[in-house]
Amino acid sequence: MKIDFPRFAQLTFALAAASCERPPPAVPPHVAEPPPEPEAGQVAESGPGEGNPAGNEPLPVEEAADLSRCASLSPSCEGLIQECQTLAGQGDPGSEGYYGGYRPRIAEEIATCWAANLAPPRCRAPAMGKCIREAVLRGPVDAATVPLCDEVIADCAQAGIKARYSREDCQKVLSSVSGQARADAARIIGPSGEGCSLEYALPYYPFGTTW
């Protein structure tokens, strides 16, 4: 058999050259792409373990108050049904006739108590104020009122006026309302001509001498 040496040499060199070439690069490992940046107005989602640290979570939005119990009040108690229906406030902040009222769960408890205790001829008996006072004192404390009450009590002390309420009562009172109603209550229980008292802090003056 005749061997074609030129062809054999060409193939040999080609194979040798191929064996000396660098191996193909390794396939890079898959790296997950970062999530897209949130668009304006959007809030980025938090993964497990992310977000606000424990104890600093924002307060949950409360559902509107169910004041259906107000309808069981006697129509003979003039205006009482309508007053009961506005326990959680009415109107928009800043608008004419706006009334802040109590927070929804507090308002519901007051309405239930009024329905059980107010009837002709004693439509505005002392129970009216007692219902509010007890609902306020049984309500939860909003953590945001803790430093606010400390500041108010310190302002009273600086003015040389002894606060006629405890720190806990201050927190309960301010926690029973929100928004502008809370700001107004904090101002009212601070240093004033009437002293540092809860008497005029809340609607219907449940901590006053009226009841």
Q: Which pLDDT does position 129 carry in this prediction?
A: 97
Cβ proximity of 125 and 117 under 8 Å: yes
Res 21 pLDDT > 70: no
Is there a domain that residue 102 lies in?
Answer: yes
Cβ proximity of 141 and 162 under 8 Å: no
| DSSP for 178-206, written as a single string | -HHHHHHHHHHTSSSTT-S-STTSSTT-T
Is there a domain that residue 113 lies in?
Answer: yes
Q: Which pLDDT does position 39 carry in this prediction?
A: 54
Mean pLDDT of 74-94: 93
Q: What is the number of structural domains in the chain?
A: 1
Could you report the per-residue pLDDT of 141-156, keeping only the tens digit for each? 999 999 999 999 999 9
Cβ proximity of 103 and 177 under 8 Å: yes
Least confident of 94-98, 133-137, 194-198: 94-98
Amino acid at 45: E
Is there a domain that residue 98 lies in?
Answer: yes
Q: pTM of the prediction?
A: 0.70
Is there a domain that residue 130 lies in?
Answer: yes
Cβ proximity of 156 and 198 under 8 Å: no
Instruction: Using alpha carbons, select from 70, 64, 118, 109 the residue that is nearest to residue 90.
Output: 64
Give counts: helices (H), strands (E), the chain: 7, 0
Q: Is 144 helix (H, G, I), strand (E, B) or coil?
A: coil
- As beta bridge partners, residue 99 has 90
Give me the domain span that covers residue 114: 68-138
Is there a domain that residue 95 lies in?
Answer: yes
Could you report the per-residue pLDDT of 59-82, keeping only the tens digit for each? 567 899 999 999 999 999 999 999
Is there a domain that residue 177 lies in?
Answer: no
Q: Which pLDDT does position 179 carry in this prediction?
A: 92
Is there a domain that residue 125 lies in?
Answer: yes
Report residue 96's pLDDT band, with 50, 70 and 90 as the boundaries.
Answer: confident
